[in-house]
Structure 1
Amino acid sequence: MLRVHFTAEDFARIRFAPRPAPLQELHAALATAVTQRGGPLFAPWRGRMMRSLPAASSPLADLVPAGRPPSFLDVIGDTMADGFEQIRATNPGLVRAELERVYGAVPVPRWIRGLHAGDETAWRTLHRAQQAAFETVLAPVWSVVQDLHHEEFTRYALTVAEHGVAATLTRLAPGSRLHEGVWEWPGAAPDRDVRLDGRGLVLLPTFHHPAGPLLQDAPGHPAVLTYPAGPGCPPTAGGPVVSAEALAAILGRTRLDALRLLAEPHTTTSLARALHVSNATASSHAAALRSAGMATTTRAGRSVTHQRTALGTLVAGAGLDPPHASGSRPPSASAWARRSAKRA
């Protein structure tokens, strides 16, 4: 069982990673392939992946003898290059200690000995292996992973707004429970207690690791908990993706239209007119978006103005058409999807 111990300060420092982390997702995928997790749903994907991995990626297997990867590989970076820079910046003492931990008495490959000694050629070997594996395993489906992450981000934000942090955490992990400040994950191996002690927690969904959490607990940094999410099978280039229809199913179609319109300031009256709803309904949608942190409301005399926040912009998506002028009804979600497809 995994037990994550929170203080009051830690609850205030929980955050959701705004974007997927390429290296974390890659390591989750490789761990799933090696450990045979996922059952029959993952079997065809595993076979294709193992057959297609290039020879340049083979050094990665040397890093996980007995399936125990060194902790310095677990980083959150927006790009592969950023992730590798974080790995390369790891304290040399930690690199040596982790390599010694995972190898123990196992014979050590020559390039791993070079990594242990800080040899630059060995680091380049690791970089090339990670890049080669990413290009084969994740690059063809990375846009799908981004869409799935976007959907999970939206679901998390709305659930926190409606039910609070405690209920949201347990919903992320069916079967887990939060009791007296301890989040318990039954069945997670090995048995482990992690004390946050004010460092906070970053939540990062993965779509290639079907069973159990992966927790990075580096001293002096927020803990990072990578948890299984998505449809329950590996993403493919043809889908599933988070479409405009899927986002509308989470937010509600009218509320999604409202969120898109609020890219520009709107009074309650102008928002109601654009949505073709009553002022009371428009005000209710704005309040729901505001409680989720996706919109702000400012008052000037008897008038109030609503506008999207940075979180709202992230949830709405960066590649969407700008909202239509007040007085015209926004296009339907399916129309948004068709226009996006045409632009692509």
Structure 2
Amino acid sequence: MCVIRIHFTADDLARVRFARRPSPVPELHAALMLLGAAHEEPLLGRWRHRLLRGLPSTVEPLADLVPGGPEAAPAFLDVLGDSLDEGVELIRAARPERVRAGIEQAYGRRPAPPWIRALHGGDAGAWRVVERAQRAAFESVLAPVWPQVQDLHRAEFTRHALALAEQGIAATLTGLAPGSRLRDGVWEWPLPGAGGVREVHLGGRGLILRPTFHWRRGPLVQDLPGHPAVLSYPAGRGLPPVPHVPDGDGPPEEPLAGVLGRTRLALLRSLSEACTTTGLARRIGVGNATVSAHASALRAAGLLTTTRTGRSVHHSRTALAELLLMGDATDG
């Protein structure tokens, strides 16, 4: 059995945080790892076949960068960044010695292609090859489902914000991984398969928790000196979030609509400012009784408040609802 043991100091426990938004580059790498793995599940097999058939040749150099398989990718590719542009820039900004070490580890016992040797030497043209491959891969694999990834991430963020507020940090961490435990400042996460023990000492750097929706195996840990450690854990529904378009030309399914229901989601979205029951009914095209019933359910879930002034009833979104609906433009 493989075990990951993450050692916390008191400062580290105070610096645990969840990533506020999905990070395109690591989510892309998780998708490429899933794409490169063999699958028995029919749905994953069809997803894999469809994407592999449509990948442009511009993406092919990424296979040269990870000749040992996606899980053995050089560490300099392991970056965060709130946008694709930022992620690509962080890869390009990797220290030359780190790039060389990653390439040498990947090609320790095999000859490297000419362009990889050029990248090892810092050639600008080789770096352009990497950037074009990253961008082409994102457009083919993630761009079609990125809105779904963002919605799934917001729902996951909200779920853990509630868990942290209600249960505390220990229960929140162990809730990410059934079978894990936090004891004496060490979070121990057992995983199936061989592999021994991996020790991660935070030493006051803190820990960022980042859900990934394209990875189904154990956590992926980024542990760079001088930076907070990042733990990417499998989340979501266990399948790549493939957009579903119903018969005809209707809009794709939204994950939040699947959780709340379309009418309740529309009701929350229409509450950019406080509104009466009658006003809400007019905005979303339903009757007053329907609004009252859905408002009651949302109020019980902590997503809506209702105040009465005289004969008027006004509904407002709560801070939790704002967090759930938070888009990239309002992520601070």
- Give the alignment's TM-score, normalised by structure 2: 0.76
Distance 1:53 1:112, change over 3 A: same
- Separation of aligned partners in 1, 2:141 and 2:29: 10
Amino acid at match of 2:139: E
Secondary structure of 1:158 counterpart:
helix
- Separation of aligned partners in 2, 1:29 and 1:195: 28
Asked whether the 8 Å contact 1:148–1:241 carries over to 2, the reply is no
- Count of residues in Structure 1 that have an aligned counterpart in Structure 2: 284
- Separation of aligned partners in 2, 1:37 and 1:219: 35
Counterpart for residue 211 of structure 1: 217
Q: Which of 222, 226, 235 is the aligned partner of 1:220?
A: 226
In the alignment, structure 2 segments of 5+ residues that lack a partner are 245-251, 276-290, 306-315
Q: How does 1:236-251 map to 2 (within 5 A)?
A: 236-238=242-244, 241-244=254-257, 246-247=259-260
Q: Which of 54, 65, 81 is the aligned partner of 1:63?
A: 65
- Separation of aligned partners in 1, 2:203 and 2:95: 22
Amino acid at match of 1:208: H
Q: How does 1:26-175 map to 2 (within 5 A)?
A: 26-36=28-38, 39-67=41-69, 68-175=72-179
Identity %: 54
Asked whether the 8 Å contact 2:211–2:233 carries over to 1, the reply is yes
Secondary structure of 2:241 counterpart:
coil
- Following superposition, the deviation at residue 260 of structure 1 comes to 8.5
Deviations 1:30-74 (A, max 9, x none): 111213267444221111122111110000011112121011111
Asked whether the 8 Å contact 1:216–1:224 carries over to 2, the reply is yes
Asked whether the 8 Å contact 1:38–1:211 carries over to 2, the reply is no
- Separation of aligned partners in 1, 2:65 and 2:27: 16
- Give yes or no for the alignment of 1:7 onto 2:9: yes
Moved more, 29-38 or 120-129: 29-38
Counterpart for residue 329 of structure 1: none
- Separation of aligned partners in 1, 2:111 and 2:179: 40
- Following superposition, the deviation at residue 315 of structure 1 comes to 2.3
Amino acid at match of 2:35: A
Counterpart for residue 301 of structure 1: none
Counterpart for residue 333 of structure 1: none
Distance 1:248 1:181, change over 3 A: farther
Distance 1:196 1:115, change over 3 A: same
- Give yes or no for the alignment of 1:314 onto 2:323: yes
- Following superposition, the deviation at residue 179 of structure 1 comes to 1.9
Q: Cα RMSD between the aligned structures?
A: 3.1
- Following superposition, the deviation at residue 308 of structure 1 comes to 6.1
Q: Which of 5, 22, 25 is the aligned partner of 2:24?
A: 22
- Following superposition, the deviation at residue 240 of structure 1 comes to 6.0
Secondary structure of 1:221 counterpart:
coil
- Give the alignment's TM-score, normalised by structure 1: 0.74
- Following superposition, the deviation at residue 276 of structure 1 comes to 7.9
- Separation of aligned partners in 1, 2:136 and 2:116: 18
Amino acid at match of 2:33: A
- Separation of aligned partners in 2, 1:222 and 1:167: 21
Asked whether the 8 Å contact 2:26–2:79 carries over to 1, the reply is yes
- Separation of aligned partners in 2, 1:26 and 1:150: 18
- Following superposition, the deviation at residue 89 of structure 1 comes to 1.0
- Separation of aligned partners in 2, 1:116 and 1:308: 52
Asked whether the 8 Å contact 2:55–2:140 carries over to 1, the reply is yes
Distance 1:94 1:70, change over 3 A: same
Asked whether the 8 Å contact 2:155–2:256 carries over to 1, the reply is no
In the alignment, structure 1 segments of 5+ residues that lack a partner are 267-274, 296-305, 320-344
Counterpart for residue 232 of structure 1: 238
Secondary structure of 1:236 counterpart:
coil
- Separation of aligned partners in 2, 1:33 and 1:246: 27
Amino acid at match of 1:129: A
Secondary structure of 1:226 counterpart:
strand
- Following superposition, the deviation at residue 318 of structure 1 comes to 3.9
Distance 1:26 1:245, change over 3 A: closer
